[in-house]
Amino acid sequence: MRKLLLSAALIVVSSAAAFAETIEIQMLNVNEAGDKMVFSQELIRAELGDVIKFVPTDKSHNACLLYTSDAADE
């Protein structure tokens, strides 16, 4: 009985990964509204196990730090 329960649990866990989705979000320099340094989607609805992949659309797309707190110096 224990082996049957363990096998059933293994099937359920492994099947969840089969339904996982890869969500690609484009990193845009400018969107259609003229907003700068934005993502292609404002809201992402992801389920447990989904993979979110951020894809740069331009080689010049980068990240920069605009603000640091005083605690960062410590």
Q: Let me know if residue 55 belongs to a domain.
A: yes
22: pLDDT strictly greater than 90 = yes
The span from the CA of 56 to the CA of 42, in Å, is: 16
Q: Let me know if residue 57 belongs to a domain.
A: yes
Q: Let me know if residue 4 belongs to a domain.
A: no
The span from the CA of 74 to the CA of 65, in Å, is: 17
pTM of the model: 0.53
Q: Give the whole-number percent of the chain exceeding pLDDT 90.
A: 12
Q: Let me know if residue 10 belongs to a domain.
A: no
Decide: residue 43, CB within 10 A, 0-12 exposed, 13-18 middle, 19+ buried.
Answer: exposed
Q: Let me know if residue 63 belongs to a domain.
A: yes
74: pLDDT strictly greater than 80 = no
Q: Give the whole-number percent of the chain exceeding pLDDT 70.
A: 65
- Supply the range of the domain harboring residue 39: 20-73
Split into its structural domains, the chain has a count of: 1
The span from the CA of 23 to the CA of 50, in Å, is: 7
DSSP label of 30: E
pLDDT-derived band at 58, boundaries 50, 70, 90: confident
